[in-house]
């Protein structure tokens, strides 16, 4: 296809550091899999068709080519690159792909009646005067900031300064202060939105009216923590009163006026403070101070707003995300203040500045994390920008934003009541946020529109259009569900705004274009070769091996080896093996190398690679442990000029402590379910692992379908390690088990369609018939 850019896909390190445009906007990846064509990449850029511009990602000019829609050939290396990057994107963006995400940012609207929908900034034409026009409309129609009307706890007098240190203790950095006009220009509109949303919840008397439906039937609710706290809504108080037959005590709460609710909130947060820090947002409630809590906001998003080139859609997303983050953290602050100053518990006579307990459940359901529960109730889920920072994407430029229903498996670190949500196989439900909603929240027109009497209704009138459903397989889904337009959100269509209908049209147009270019081959091949996370783990092992990091290497090798349960019995072991001579599966391969899925549907390569790893590192005769003790430091903040003028004269020194991280690996183990009876073998050497590699590969490849390239790569590494180990055992007969291999020889193979089975030394290809069935060549 003439006008569809095609990557060469040949991974090779750049001669000198050079970065793709996407890397310049996000960050580099410390991994060889992200280096090709003499450039360092992020893995986030769309491939086939390639989109080089990380801002104007809605470029579809290639569809004007006469060759558009015509079949074209791609080399295996190109397909390998495509599949690797798209599995990486799905992991970073919890199901979303980079070519899909711009559709959600296609349109913004600040006053649909006067100006109508405008471009979110991702079209090739969004430059110069076009961008300036949208910016002018935004400036005229954005929220009118009036600090004099805010809650007192949001105003500048409650904000402290922080002096950035890079590296800590050596070099003074920037001063992050609300006295800086650039910072205040961004922060003030965020706080204006926070103020309006809190007041809308009070004015609407919004109780969300959902938690009572989620409570398990048949009270009382079971709880494995007898000392757990529970925060009850009005509806749940009523349910408990009816259940116990006791009088309902809190009817007067519903009769409180808006001014009384406002006064109460001001009272609770009467000494709350704010500051910034180089961290993710958090709330601290230290003891021994004259304030109940302080909210620390990460400075990176503000640096992005001030110094990065952002589209209007990206700017709106970041503003709304920070507003929701502040409200999330204030939920923790409200609990801290109530606990310290207002709760009449006889067991805690000295309530002021006492150590904080675990937060309460809300209506006997879910998890003990009030911020996430608040987001679920009033925004439809816990909000997450993607790509996520935990994937080393060190930028606050969002390709998309998603909310996940609370509770879900990713929140297992919090105390949670028993329920299906944390069981293997439970659903993790996501919903992506379009810029139609974020821009609406930032427009003055929405907040003064008399036709919308309750601004907080329906999660502040949020559209729930783009959704995905993933399956929990542990702490998070191993395989993120495909993002789709939810048909229920379209019924009836009259409930959707015109701008949301236009966003759906853009989504469907892009879907059609990509399907036209890729044709029927993409889905079939992609699902067999979606192995990016495994590839990354292999790269981590190679790096740890080069550093002779025994614990890191052993940890990865154990994970890979245990892709198959080889320690119970032969029936359990055989359940992981291919069951027919046409079944393509991966755990056995990664057992021979590793314990992660190579293909998304089948799982059987994980065996050989783990055994190769075990053969390359020392035999462990005892547990190995490594811990990084919790580091501690003093975090200091200082009154801003506005805080000092309000009487905050002293700096605040907070003692901070890192979590202790521990790593431990068990002694080396060996079970032979192929040639032996499966008992644990003592006195093993690396040669035992190598022999089992040969046995496993020979056993599988003689009856089941395998990828020729993977078997070839495994056997090639086997020969190198075998020769190395035999030389070492002759040279050091009593100590060779404790030695490292000379090198780690395994190289992941590139994409290859060559599949089949071995007959002796001959390889019999497996081919696909037109009806979709698999047939061996010698059967045709």
The residue count of the chain comes to 780
pLDDT tops 50 at residue 618: yes
Report which DSSP code applies to 682: S
* pLDDT surpasses 50 at 351: no
Question: Is 681 within 8 Å of 672 (Cβ atoms)?
Answer: yes
In this structure, of 75-89, 224-238, 276-290, 688-702, the range with the lowest mean pLDDT score is: 224-238
- Report how far apart, in Å, the C-alpha atoms of 290 and of each of 128, 271, 345, 463 are: 51, 8, 21, 43
- Whether residue 492 is preceded by a cis peptide bond, meaning omega within 30 degrees of 0, is yes
pLDDT over 80 at 779, yes or no: no
How does 599-629 read in b/e, with b if 16+ C-beta sit within 10 Å?
bbebbbbbbbbbbbbbbbbbbbeeeeeeeee
pLDDT single digits (tens) 388-420:
655 455 567 889 999 999 988 888 778 777 777
356, 290 in Cβ contact below 8 A?
Answer: no
Contact between 403 and 382 (Cβ < 8 Å): yes
Mean pLDDT of the chain: 81
Which residue shows structure tokens 């009646």? 113
Is pLDDT above 90 for 522?
A: no
Tally: H helices and E strands in the chain: 24, 26
pLDDT band at 5 (very low <50, low <70, confident <90, very high): very low
Question: Which of 148-157, 163-172, 232-241 holds the top average pLDDT?
Answer: 148-157
- Among 506, 499, 383, which residue's Cα sits nearest to residue 446? 499
pLDDT(463) > 80: yes
Residue 671 — φ and ψ, nearest 5°?
Answer: -135, 130
Q: What is the pLDDT of residue 270?
A: 93
The 10s digit of each residue's pLDDT in 718-773 is 999 999 999 999 999 989 999 999 999 998 887 777 777 777 778 888 776 666 66
Beta bridge partners of 403: 383, 431
pLDDT at 559: 76
Question: How far is residue 340 CA from its own chain's centroid?
Answer: 34
Q: What is the DSSP letter of 680?
A: B
Q: Which percentage of the chain shows pLDDT scores above 90? A: 40
Question: Percent of the chain, pLDDT > 70?
Answer: 78
Two tokens at 778?
Answer: 């010698």
The pLDDT-based confidence of 780 (bands split at 50, 70, 90) is low
CB 780 within 8 A of CB 764: no
Please tell me the predicted confidence (pLDDT) of residue 712.
Answer: 87
pLDDT confidence of residue 40: 83
Q: Sign of the C-alpha dihedral, residues 58, 62, 63, 68?
A: negative
Query: Could you tell me the pLDDT band of residue 314, with boundaries at 50, 70 and 90?
Result: very high
pLDDT higher than threshold 90 for residue 225: no
Mean pLDDT value across residues 350-359? 62
The C-alpha atoms of residue 21 and residue 53 are separated, in whole angstroms, by: 7
What is the distance of C-alpha 329 from the center of its chain?
20
DSSP 489: G
What average pLDDT does this structure show over 582-596? Answer: 49
> Can you give the pLDDT at residue 1?
38
More confident residue, 75 or 102: 102
Asked if pLDDT for residue 605 goes beyond 70, the answer is no
Least confident of 67-81, 119-133, 152-166, 594-608: 594-608
Q: Does 527 or 167 have the greater pLDDT score?
A: 527
User: Which of residues 62 and 706 earns the better pLDDT score?
Assistant: 62
Inform me whether the pLDDT recorded for 177 exceeds 90: yes
Task: Give the residue extent of every domain in the chain.
Answer: 147-487, 531-623+666-779, 632-663
User: What is the pTM for the complete model shown?
Assistant: 0.86
Q: Is the pLDDT of residue 580 over 60?
A: no
Q: Residue 447 has what pLDDT?
A: 97
Predicted confidence band of residue 360 (pLDDT cuts 50, 70, 90) = confident
581 — pLDDT class (breaks 50, 70, 90): low
Distance CA 262, CA 265 (A): 5
Number of Cβ atoms within 10 Å of the Cβ of 157: 20
Give residue 274's pLDDT band: very low, low, confident or very high (50, 70, 90): very high
Q: What pLDDT band is residue 205 in, cutting at 50, 70 and 90?
A: confident
Tokens encoding 374: 């608040």
Q: Report pLDDT for 153.
A: 97
pLDDT tens digits for range 620-642 = 988 888 876 556 667 788 999 99
State the CB neighbour count (10 A cutoff) for residue 311.
24
pLDDT given at position 709: 83
Q: Which two tokens stand for residue 578?
A: 């291919």
**Which of 139-153, 155-169, 482-496, 664-678 reaches the highest mean pLDDT?**
139-153
H/E element, 272: none
């Amino acid at each position: 296809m003439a006008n569809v850019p095609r990557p060469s896909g040949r991974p090779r390190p750049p001669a000198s550091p050079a970065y793709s445009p996407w890397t310049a906007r996000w960050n580099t990846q410390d991994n060889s899999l992200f280096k090709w064509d003499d450039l360092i990449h992020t893995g986030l850029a769309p491939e086939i068709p390639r989109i080089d511009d990380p801002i104007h990602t809605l470029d579809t000019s290639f569809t004007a080519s006469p060759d558009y829609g015509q079949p074209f050939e791609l080399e295996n290396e190109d397909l390998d690159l495509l599949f690797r990057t798209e599995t990486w994107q799905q992991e970073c963006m919890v199901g979303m792909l980079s070519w899909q995400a711009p559709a959600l940012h296609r349109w913004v609207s600040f006053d649909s009646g006067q100006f109508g929908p405008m471009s979110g900034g991702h079209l090739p034409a969004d430059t110069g005067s076009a961008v300036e026009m949208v910016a002018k409309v935004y400036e005229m129609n954005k929220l009118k900031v009036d600090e004099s009307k805010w809650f007192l706890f949001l105003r500048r007098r409650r904000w402290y300064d922080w002096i950035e240190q890079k590296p800590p203790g050596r070099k003074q950095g920037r001063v992050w202060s609300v006295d800086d006009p650039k910072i205040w220009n961004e922060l003030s509109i965020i706080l204006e939105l926070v103020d309006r949303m809190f007041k809308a919840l009070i004015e609407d008397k919004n109780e969300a009216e959902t938690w009572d439906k989620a409570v398990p039937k048949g009270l009382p609710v079971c709880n494995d923590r007898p000392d757990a706290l529970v925060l009850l809504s009005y509806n749940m108080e009523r349910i408990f009163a009816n259940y116990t037959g006791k009088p309902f005590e809190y009817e007067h709460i519903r009769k409180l006026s808006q001014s009384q609710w406002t006064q109460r909130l001001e009272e609770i947060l009467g000494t709350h403070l704010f500051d910034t820090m180089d961290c993710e947002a958090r709330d601290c409630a230290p003891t021994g101070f004259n304030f109940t809590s302080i909210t620390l906001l990460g400075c990176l998003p503000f640096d992005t707003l001030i110094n990065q080139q952002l589209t209007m859609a990206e700017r709106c997303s970041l503003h709304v995300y920070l507003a929701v983050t502040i409200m999330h953290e204030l939920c923790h602050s409200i609990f801290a203040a109530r606990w310290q100053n207002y709760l009449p518990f006889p067991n805690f006579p000295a309530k002021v500045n006492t150590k904080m307990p675990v937060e309460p459940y809300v209506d006997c359901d879910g998890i003990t994390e009030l911020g996430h529960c608040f987001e679920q109730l009033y925004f439809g889920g816990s909000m997450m920008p993607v790509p996520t920072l935990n994937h080393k994407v060190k930028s606050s430029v969002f390709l998309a934003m998603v909310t996940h229903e609370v509770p879900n498996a990713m929140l297992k670190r919090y105390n949670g009541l028993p329920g299906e949500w944390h069981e293997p196989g439970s659903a993790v439900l996501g919903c992506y946020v379009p810029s139609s909603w974020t821009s609406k929240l930032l427009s003055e027109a929405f907040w003064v529109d008399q036709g919308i009497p309750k601004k907080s209704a329906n999660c502040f009138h949020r559209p729930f259009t783009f959704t995905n459903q993933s399956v929990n397989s542990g702490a998070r889904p191993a395989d993120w569900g495909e993002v789709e337009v939810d048909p229920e959100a379209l019924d009836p269509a009259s409930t959707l705004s015109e701008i949301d209908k236009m966003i759906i049209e853009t989504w469907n147009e892009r879907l059609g274009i990509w399907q036209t270019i890729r044709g029927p081959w993409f889905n079939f091949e992609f699902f067999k070769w979606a192995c990016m996370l495994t590839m990354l783990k292999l790269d981590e092992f190679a790096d740890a091996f080069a550093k002779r990091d025994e614990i890191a290497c052993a940890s990865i090798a154990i994970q890979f080896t245990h892709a198959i349960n080889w320690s119970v019995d032969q029936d359990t072991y055989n359940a992981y093996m291919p069951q027919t001579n046409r079944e393509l599966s991966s755990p056995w391969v990664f057992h021979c190398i590793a314990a992660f899925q190579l293909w998304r549907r089948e799982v059987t390569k994980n065996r050989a690679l783990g055994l190769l790893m075990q053969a390359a590192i020392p035999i462990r005769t005892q547990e190995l442990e490594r811990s990084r003790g919790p580091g501690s430091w003093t975090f200091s903040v200082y009154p801003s000029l506005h805080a000092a003028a309000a009487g905050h004269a002293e700096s605040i020194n907070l003692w901070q402590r890192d979590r202790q991280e521990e790593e431990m690996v068990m002694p080396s183990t060996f079970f032979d379910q192929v040639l032996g009876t499966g008992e644990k073998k003592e006195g093993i050497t690396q040669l035992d692992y190598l022999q089992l590699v040969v046995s496993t590969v020979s056993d599988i490849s003689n009856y089941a379908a395998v990828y020729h390239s993977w078997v070839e790569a495994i056997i090639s590494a086997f020969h190198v390690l075998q020769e190395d180990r035999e030389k070492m055992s002759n040279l050091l007969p009593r100590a060779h088990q404790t030695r490292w291999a000379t090198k780690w020889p395994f190289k992941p193979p590139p994409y290859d369609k060559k599949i089949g089975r071995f007959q002796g030394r001959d390889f019999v290809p497996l081919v696909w018939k037109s009806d979709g069935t698999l047939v061996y060549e010698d059967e045709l």
